[in-house]
Amino acid sequence: MNKYVAYIVTSVFCIVMPIFFIAYIYWDVSQPKTGPVGNGVQKPTFYQLAPIFGTILMGLGNLPVAIMRYNENKKRIEQEPHDLGREEGTGMDKQEAGVNSLEKQSIYSVLEIVDTQSGERTTLAEFDYVIEAPNWTADHKYLIYNSKGQLYRFELETLESTRIDSGYAIHCNNDHVLSPDGTKLAISHHTQEDGRSRIYIIPIEGGHPELVTALAPSYLHGWSPDGMTLSYCAERSGDYNIYTIPAAGGTETRLTDTLGLDDGPEYSPDGRHIWFNSTRTGFMQVWRMNTDGSDQTQMTFDESNNWFPHVSPDGLSVAFLTYRKGDVAPNDHPANKEVEIRIMSVSGGEERTLVTLFGGQGTINVNSWSPDSRYIAFVSYRI
């Protein structure tokens, strides 16, 4: 008797679940893929739930279940294998793996902007592969992002992407910054000789890369407002600290000397300060110092782990990425976590959660404020 009951239950389940899948897919497809998507955590998507339901179906009914993804550009549903690789490295490894995949999984990237006044989110484009770390150009026309080791220019009017020619530098990570005058792009490329990240500069329209940092690993984060100096995180003698170097190349200057990880150094628009994040207190917190390394001052004080402070062009606000308490080690900034983009005054004080999303590594590694200080561009992800 029991085996007949089990057979009936299994049969009903196997009939109902595919119907649920089909209904969900077509409901999801019918939803707008651009425009405001609201605040807070996005609802669980089909792309995140499919592996769970797939496992149940495979076990109960032995039915093949593929990961279905809606392709915005082609407006169709397609089946693809679950084998895309995420380009990332985290924590003290600081992306030393470069564009070598550290974990194999399907990733769906969503390029978004958020209005810092209203909190309204707008989806610009969706990709069935990894894109990371948008920069906003000073003319307000483009976003620059990296994907699969190369850089791309995304036009905000046409929503089309174009690859930027970077010569032999085809193993770039998500640490790239535009020059203040908008004519150049500084990139972090993993060299073929040793696989370690070094900083190069190319023309904004693309071209031959010029080496800036001979020593490695070096990860770019800031360009001084006068265009003369780059700021970056670098590992020297086993420890990661903040350094600066002339944009034309030359001798680097060490600004921090604490044990642990100092990362994400970025200039304020007035050129007076460098903002960065550090684990020196036991948690990853946001700090600020003078450009010569003096007066290092802690700016956030909670028990979350706060990464990559980005100052708005008007110099009034700073945005940063927050991992929740206990979610990750202080020196780690992995992908595929529930994270927040927070914002506060450059003078410190109360923090405000602007966006809660599924992301982390690649979301806002570099400054992505709009030139008018109204919007922030970022990348969220789905598995």
Q: Which residue type sits at 78?
A: E
- Hey, where are the domains in the chain? 2-82, 87-382
Q: What is the pLDDT of residues 27-39, one digit of tens each?
A: 444 443 444 333 3
The model's pLDDT over 225-238, given as tens digits with 9 standing for 90+, comes to 999 999 999 999 89
Say what the pLDDT of residue 107 is.
85
Predicted confidence at residue 294, as pLDDT, reads 99
pLDDT tens figures, 85-104: 333 333 444 444 334 333 44
Report the CATH architecture of 87-382.
6 Propeller (2.120)
The whole-number pLDDT of residue 88 equals 38
What's the whole-number average pLDDT of the chain? Answer: 82
Burial grade of 65 (CB within 10 A; 0-12, 13-18, 19 or more): middle
Interval 325-351 mean pLDDT? 97
Q: How far is CA 227 from CA 164, 318, 335, 380, in A?
A: 21, 21, 32, 31
Q: Is the pLDDT of residue 45 over 60?
A: no
Query: How many angstroms separate the Cα of 85 from the Cα of each of 3, 205, 260?
Result: 42, 28, 29
pTM: 0.77
pLDDT confidence of residue 5: 47
